[in-house]
Chains A and B, each alone.
Chain A
């Protein structure tokens, strides 16, 4: 495996003004970002924001329409095949071979990634163990539960022990417990020195990352550690309004020019002064005949941050 020495800044990923258009549609609009070696870097945003397009450009699967950058020291425009030698990639759509067994899939990717003969068995057992599939090595991949499939896919992507891995929505469609376990895995790899670039649309996973970039409509609207983001963008308070008729309450508040967002069965209202707002909201809703079960000040989550930022942009 060819390995270029990392540039002085120790940046695993370093791109400037990355851009990608599809005809008239601008999927990625001049974004710049950098990822330190060994970092867990999260790329958050709703569906269609440009996450997958970005990650594909970084992995050499899509040619950028504009911009320059390096991954692992290799140029993304000119050296994409070299990039593929040093990275691991897990695509958004599950992409192992359904009609192969667990072991056959591992053998296949081991061969394709040129895992050295001496290490083949060791790596295979490591992946089987990591994915919890040691007893299931002869099971057909299509018969596995979603959580196991994801771990197997991750395992196959890192058979060759790459230093940088790109995971595109690795936890989509997986139950919360499996999601936690998956992130434990990612943490372990990061401890061992691997750089992990993850995209996700689950805001609660943001806290698992070292640094984040929030992307919306092809642009990065915020960047930093989870704490930095909270501090910087959430100078205001968040009130959680508990009612039984959420949509009705939402409509009433909107009518009275109070900005609210629906969060499951509650409403979140961002405000400069929690106390005054609390009374105001309570009064408004009661006058309109909505029963208010409670209004509480809560610590702002990244989701609140994001929703606010989107409204601003």
Chain B
């Protein structure tokens, strides 16, 4: 393998990238924009669910009950209505997600020691919010009940739950590390998928393959500039995560960068393989996008938990490198995991990278066919 030839190719690619504003924008702006948009847009946190109240009792007890909702911080009571019918427009338009209906015998029943029924209507069209709202509601009702009873019954087992690794259960912490994997997978696949197909399209490949250059030299030479760009992107997204989104980084940065490097190499080799296999730039970039983005988004465990998937799909996820990278990212960011824990993922990522690189070399022919 001739280093000088690899250098010549890498240098040429660098010059071409730097003179192509579209490539540059894609390389540096896209990850920033994607992370920005997805980071701020995707959140599973429920905060201040808008609530409308129909209080038929209007007693101090009913007001206290409604106040519990408000005090919890999860609900925001911003409207009061005087009839059932008046509730519909609120829920239909989305101005409120939850409606609390308190019957007129509410305080009477409680003072007598009977059960009081409260009706809570929840907008289920966003089932995620609905489920959480339901949970909070039950908790509030239970808490209120206990206070009314005067906590006469002491439970035998008191559960105190603590959440590890993400105490505030901020979904952002859970999403952003995985998001880095998605963004990187897409960017590098797109960038590298064009490089070989473009030379065929423009006719420069014919000249190139008439020279003594060897296939591995050509592929490595083309990988290098994109690898460096991808690496810069990785650092950029890590910085954004920690500084902008306040995601904690509890593990070793060196390990993170090292394993990211392996993921990059595999992803780029994959993009180049698409570039070789696709006859045109269009075909190559579409293939690269489809096979990198969709599997990474849906099957990497980034948002949708793998263990909840049907068995056959779970097996498929083993083939997706983003899956291992997401585990690595979450592990290093949130758990401070070391190589000792992540060795299997690291090994599999390396294996993928090597196999795809070899495949790209095999697939490329220094011939016009």
Mark A residues whose CB is within 8 Å of B.
56, 59-63, 81, 84-85, 87, 89-91, 93-100, 104, 107-114, 157
Contact = CB atoms under 8 A, between A and B. Distances in A.
A111 B4 contact: yes
Contacts of B5: 111-112, 114
A113 B206 contact: no
B8 A112 contact: yes
Contact of B367 (A63, A108, A110): A63
A166 B206 CA distance: 13
B332 to A, nearest CB: 39
Interface of B: 2, 4-5, 7-9, 11-12, 15-16, 19-20, 202-204, 206-214, 366-369
Contact of A95 (B19, B206, B214, B368): B206
A98 B366 CA distance: 22
A91 B210 contact: yes
A61 B11 contact: no
B203 A95 contact: yes
B212 A97 contact: no
A141 to B, nearest CB: 11
A61 to B, nearest CB: 5
Contacts of B7: 111
20 contacts: A56-B368, A60-B210, A60-B366, A61-B210, A61-B368, A89-B210, A91-B203, A91-B207, A91-B210, A97-B12, A98-B202, A99-B15, A99-B16, A108-B12, A111-B5, A111-B7, A111-B8, A112-B212, A113-B211, A113-B212
Contacts of B12: 97, 100, 104, 108
A101 to B, nearest CB: 9
Contacts of A104: 12, 15
Contacts of B202: 95, 98
A80 to B, nearest CB: 8
A104 B16 CA distance: 11
B213 to A, nearest CB: 5
B16 A112 contact: no
Given A100-B15, A112-B9, A114-B5, A91 B211 contact: no
Nearest to A113: B211
B206 to A, nearest CB: 5
Contacts of A157: 207
Nearest 10 pairs between A and B by C-beta?
Answer: A111-B8, A95-B207, A89-B210, A93-B203, A85-B212, A91-B206, A95-B204, A95-B203, A108-B12, A99-B19
A114 B3 CA distance: 10
A108 B210 contact: no
Given A61-B367, A62-B367, A63-B367, A107 B206 contact: no
Contacts of B15: 99-100, 104
Contacts of A109: 211
Nearest to A111: B8
Contacts of A113: 211-212
Nearest to B6: A111
Nearest to A166: B210
A43 B207 CA distance: 20
A170 to B, nearest CB: 13
Nearest to B203: A93
A98 B368 CA distance: 21
A113 B369 CA distance: 23
Quick one: which of B4, B20, B214 has the most chain A CB within 10 A? B4
Nearest to B18: A99
